[in-house]
Amino acid sequence: MANETDSRNASVMPDVPWDKLRSLTASGDGKALLAYLEDLEPLATIRALFRLSGEEQEQLVALLPADRAAEIIEDLPDVHAADLIERLDASAAAEIFEELDSDHGADLLAEIEAPERQAILAKMPPDRAGSMRSLITYAADVAGGLMSTEFYVYPIAATVGDFLVDLRKRRDDVEQLPQRLVLLDVDRKPMGAVEIADVLLAEPETPLASLSKAVEPVGVDTGLTELEDYFRRYETLGAPVIDRDGHFVGRLRQHAVMDAIAERAQDEQLKSQGIVGGEELRHLPVVTRSKRRLSWLSINIVLNIIAASVIAMFQDTLSALIVLAVFLPIVSDMSGCSGNQAIAVTMRELTLGIIEPRDALRVWWQEASVGLMNGVALGFLLGVAAYLWQGNALLGVVIGAALAINTFVAVSLGGTVPLLLKAVRADPALASGPVLTTVTDMCGFFLVLGLATLALPWLT
């Protein structure tokens, strides 16, 4: 009877997407698989894909046409997309890369191990492979690493008719019209840009140069902060990119810069929380994820033992005045919060290029004044709370003074530690938090217990 009920319930329950994808993949019916994917929302497709094993994902992508497989690859996080492509046959992977925008394709190639990367490039047309090789030589956070090699550029003598002829030749590959056409001189140096609206309204014999406006190119080595400022200043969706000799080499899209800025912010946030070694997804192998987290946590346990050893130095004071145990975490936590605020401001200014390691003394002075004011205010509030709770004014002074001094120390460190770490080529986003936490804990415990030890005859 129970088996009949289970069977009846299973028959009326709709197939969940990942079960359906698993079934269609196992059947090897590429047409049915493609038809089913057409009815799925992109987000539902990605969610279902993550429920499949690595082998099932590989089989699924291999059954799809290259253009549809590329659409799925584009929606995956880079770390996972690269892992999936590495498992494909080099010829199949090359066909997918043919369908990807060059900038995205270059990003994925950079994530792939060198042997697999070379095998894929060897299967691609020489001109496409050459542009990909060129793109991956640039850092990921500069214009050269973000630009694409799909563009519309024409000689300075070209006409509107020349553009229309070229557009017709490209019609199979055109998804949307370009915002602007770039005009080049005989040395391939940008001479101006023409808005597409002006081109479409002009007569075929009209010279493009007569419609052009001045354009400001960006260099291949221009960093994210400068690029963000460029697009804010010029209010354009794209920019021509030039090499170190001033020759046109690619087109940079605004959304590529915005995505890179968002990715950098996310990466720094993950590092500050101890996720190291690159982007982590729960679909990654458990051992890989465990290693990445343990590399952070194992260091932190040592630092916490060092901080806790301060308490052992004053165990007699703590035994005589157990109420201090209540205030130890408050003092260390409040100071840590203040220090993290200072770290956040310094990291932001480092990102924007406003400050450099040599500005550490000036930054300390600016933070010290804030730390002093906030320390006195917070110390007074906590001291009053201690007095009202225990009815001991001296206890309030001890706790308040400890918090005030520790806040000053924490803010001073928070403002300068990222700069000092950057000066020694350490990652400030990754290391600033543990350094601050350890020092503020040690200092906070020492101040509370040390001051209490000095005042112990009058506190007990």
CB contact set of 209 (below 8 Å; sequence gap of 6+): 156, 157, 183, 191, 192
Q: How confident is the model at residue 14 (pLDDT cuts 50, 70, 90)?
A: very low
Look up residue 213 and give its DSSP letter: B
Q: Does position 2 have pLDDT exceeding 70, yes or no?
A: no
**Whole-angstrom distance, CA of residue 317 vs CA of residue 453:** 6
What CATH number belongs to 11-140? 1.25.60.10
Q: 286-313 vs 428-454: helix axis angle to the nearest 10?
A: 20
Q: Does position 4 have pLDDT exceeding 60, yes or no?
A: no
Compute how many other C-beta atoms are within 10 angstroms of the C-beta atom of residue 294: 13
pLDDT in tens, 434-457: 778 888 888 999 999 999 999 888
pLDDT in tens, 92-145: 889 998 888 888 888 888 888 888 889 999 998 888 888 888 888 888 889 988
pLDDT in tens, 31-51: 888 888 888 888 888 888 888
pLDDT in tens, 251-272: 898 888 888 887 777 666 666 5
Is the Cβ–Cβ distance between 147 and 251 less than 8 Å?
yes
Model pLDDT, residue 57: 87
What average pLDDT does range 216-220 have in this prediction?
A: 92
Q: How confident is the model at residue 382 (pLDDT cuts 50, 70, 90)?
A: very high
Ramachandran region, residue 142 (left: φ > 0; alpha: ψ -120 to 50; beta: rest): beta
pTM, whole model, 2 decimals? 0.60
Is the Cβ–Cβ distance between 17 and 48 less than 8 Å?
yes
Model pLDDT, residue 383: 93
Domain boundaries, the chain: 11-140, 153-272, 286-459
pLDDT in tens, 118-128: 999 999 888 88
For 336-388, give the DSSP string.
HHHHHHHHHHHHHHHHHTS--GGGHHHHHHHHHHHHHHHHHHHHHHHHHHHHH
Q: Does position 10 have pLDDT exceeding 50, yes or no?
A: no
Model pLDDT, residue 177: 75
Is the Cβ–Cβ distance between 393 and 399 less than 8 Å?
no
Pick the CATH number of 153-272 from 2.40.50.140, 3.10.580.10, 3.10.150.10, 2.60.300.12: 3.10.580.10
425 vs 406: which has the higher pLDDT: 406
**Whole-angstrom distance, CA of residue 236 vs CA of residue 255:** 11
Level-2 CATH architecture, domain 286-459: Orthogonal Bundle (1.10)
Compute how many other C-beta atoms are within 10 angstroms of the C-beta atom of residue 314: 19
Look up residue 1 and give its DSSP letter: -
